[in-house]
Structures are given as structure tokens and as C-alpha cells.
Chain A
């Protein structure tokens, strides 16, 4: 499902110094395997590399060294043309939501289905049902900037799961939610996991982890320090 062997990730940084560009490795020698249908917390202090590891897994970057195998595809060897199809099988809930401000709530959530070529009549039913589930049905045609932070996060969650992804990645998904909404979200993630979706959730929320005990990947200073 997901397999990392000695994966490293570095960004070219133009520090503005006289020496010019410097290479900063944010992930070092990451190796683990995550079987299909698993649930994992991704834990670690700020700056440990959680977001970078998620970026690798949702194909926003490719590893600078090592091997990454994702949903049966060797990412280092895969042609660029193969990646869009792979991305459509991955749902992501971003910390900063990343909603399109010129599209309504409905259109934001419908976007993954439209990109997958789903017929308009069919996707209308699914999107409306999904927005009803996250409690945003009355705000179908509202633009995201008119919503509260919690509501925007629910739109982001709805967009991430609408296409029933094989892999769901979430970066601090409960950050803007109150307790009851966070509980509902966890129920959704667990339900998706029960239906076969592999779920990885990065969080700082110790209480949430304590309430929903599961295996965890622990990062510190760009290295994997714990793997259950």
C-alpha cells in the first residue's frame, strides 16, 4: 500500500547568503510500510516533518532519495502522466483548508468528482448528501470566505472524502473544530477506514489520540523515531 525505504526529502533553500543556495533535508532515512486499510496517527512536535511526510504521500513532492511506493506505484519511476490518476485516489484534508475562494461550497466539494469525469446529475446527489452529512446543506451556494473556520474545515473534509479515496491524509483536521465536531470527524474517518480506506492523521491533539487509540508513526527532527 505505502512503503518507504530510506526516503529523504530536501528543499533547495535560497538563504540569501553570499554562499547562495543551501540544501536543507527535512526528512532523513524514513522507512516504514503501511498495509492497505490501516489507520495511523502521525505524531511529533512542530517542525518534526509531519507535513513534509504527508506532502510526499499526497505527491506534492517526490523524494530526493530512497524509494516510495504508493498504491502499487513506484513513485520514483512513475511518469508524470501517471500521477494525476494516482492523486485522484488520495484524499487530503489540509491544515489551511485550501478551498477555492471563487467557487461555492458545492463546487469545491464537487471538484474531485468533476476532475474524475463523473456525470453532473450523479455528482449532484453525492455532493448534496455529503454536505448534509457535514451539516452544510443550507450553505451549498455560499462562498468559502463567508464561512467560519470550522465550517471551512468541514468543507475541506467533505472534498477530501467525496470521491471515496483509497488513501486519506489529514493534517491537523480537528484544529478548527469544537469537541462534538471533532468527534463526528473521527467517526467519519473510522467509518471510512472500516470500509477499507487507509487513513493517516497528523495531529498535535493528545486528547484526541488518547480518546481514539491507534498505531502511530512518530517523527522527530525529520527522522522516524517510533513506528507501531
Chain B
């Protein structure tokens, strides 16, 4: 029986087209890494803008400030003006909680403008009632219903305790929310553009690979390789290189995102990263952003796979 010499042809299996040289492992991952880095920043911008919009809507939008001038004067229906206003507010179904600021709280509020002189100031200060509104029922008409309720409450207060000033943050909240949504849309568009550029980069690299390996492809095609086989070889290589680039870009973006998170920590309530703690990154970045950044290599790989498949299959149509 013939003795069969061992043949180590593992390098050839799966690389019949010589794509390891035709699709370089330098330029493509580098360009995709740059795209992934930008995508991570755009993603952070997208999530931050979404978070801000939500925060403003849910937080500041649910608060109301009511000023009652001459709070100690008697009100028409009995009691002081402050007590009357407070009673009306607490009776309203739209109000979850109403709380009159104490003199100390009022002083704290005014200190940035008036310094510590508020207690000795000769100017009469109004009572300030901080109101927490009840959560709307939800649904499309919830905001409009709340606005109508606030309008009615404002009228009632004005009639019962003349001179009362109801300061709703709705207008500012609306403007800030619109700004945040615009920023969110811009970040979303930036993400799409980055994905499009990444696809274009993969397509150009694949076309260059097709040109470089044209003869090999024609030979393999002539030997009976299917379009799916040839496209699969390219797609496998492109997926690996793009995922590698995606991973490098995501890792490069992490320190930048951590820096930004540290700057934003006082506003977001998240902890600043502890460089010594092993879970520092996990606690310093929002979970959604972490998940998004972790998904970047997979997204890059998917873009690489789909783009290479489409490019090669389109190119193969020129062969019989």
C-alpha cells in the first residue's frame, strides 16, 4: 500500500484565492478602526442627548414654582395668602406634592445672587411653593391634558390669591427638548454616515482584492466554484478584518468616553471611573453606551460581511 506523506495544507484550505495578501490586514482594519472610533463618539452623543431630553421631560418638566407675594396677608376666604394658595394646590389632582420653601431654603436659593444678606434685607420676599406635578396618565394627549390642567390651576390661583405667579418650565423644557432631539438626530445621522463610509471602505478594499485576484478567481470559477463559495471567501476575510478594526476602534474610544463620563459625572449621577477598580469602566459608563460600544466589533463585522458579499456577487455577474 502506498505510503502517504503528511501534507500540511491548512494554509491553503480556506485561502484558495490568496486573499491573505490581496485583502491586507493593515489598511482595512485601520480605516474601520477610525470609523468605529467615530461611531463610539456618535453613539455616546446619541445616548447623552436622548438621556438629557428624557431627564428634562421627566424631571424639570414635572416641577412648578409658585410665588405668592405678601404671603402673610389675609386671603379673601380666610387664612393667609400663602396658606390659601397651598391649600388650593394640594387640592388639585394635577399636583402630587406642594411644599413651601422655608426661610433657610429661600436664603439658599437666593444666596448666589444676594449673598448672605437675605435675612437682613428690607425687601419683602414672596413665599415660594415648590410643586411636584402628578405623573400624567401617558398616551399621546397626556402633555396637552397637563397643560390644560396647569392653565386652569393658574386661573384658580389668580382668582383666589391675586398676584400669585405660577412659573411653569414648560416653554423652556419644550425648547431644550427640541434641541436635545435635534442633537440626537444629528448623532444618529452621524452614526449612519459612519456606517456608510465603513461599508464604502470595505467595498473599495474588496474591489481592489477582486482586481488583484482576478486570475485566481477565474481559475477557481472555471473549476466549478460557485458564486456563493467565492463571495463567502471574500466575506469571511472582510468580516474578520472589519471586526478587528471595530474592536480596535472601540477600545481606542473607551478612554475618551471615560474622560467625557468623568466630566459629565456631576450631571448624570454616575460615578467617575476608578482606574484601579477592575469594574471602573462598567460603573462609569451608562449600560446602554457600554452595550453599544461592545457591539461595535460585531456591527463592523456584519457591515464587512454584507458589503463583501454584495460586492463580489455583483462582480461575478460578469463571468458566465
Show the binding face of A for B, using Cβ within 8 Å.
58-62, 80-81, 83-88, 92, 98, 100, 102-104, 106-107, 110-112, 114-116, 120, 124-125, 127-129, 132, 137, 140-141, 159
Contacts and interface: CB of A to CB of B under 8 A. Distances in A.
A83 B16 CA distance: 20
B12 interface: yes
12 contacts: A86-B224, A100-B18, A100-B216, A106-B9, A110-B12, A111-B220, A111-B223, A115-B220, A120-B13, A132-B2, A141-B7, A141-B8
Interface string B217-242: 00111111111010000000000000
Contact of A84 (B5, B18, B219, B226): B226
A92 B222 contact: yes
B11 to A, nearest CB: 9
B320 A62 contact: yes
Chain B interface bracket (under 10, 10 to 19, 20 to 34, 35 or more): 20 to 34
Contacts of B144: none
Contacts, number: 79
Chain B interface secondary structure, helix, strand, loop or mixed? loop
A124 B7 CA distance: 8
Nearest to A85: B224
B21 interface: yes
Contact of A100 (B9, B16, B221): B16
Given A61-B320, A100-B220, 9 more contacts: A58-B222, A80-B320, A84-B225, A92-B222, A98-B215, A107-B16, A115-B224, A115-B225, A137-B5
Contacts of B18: 100, 102-103
A87 B223 contact: yes
Max chain B Cβ within 10 angstroms of own Cβ: one of A102, A116, A125: A102
B4 interface: yes
A156 to B, nearest CB: 11
A127 to B, nearest CB: 8
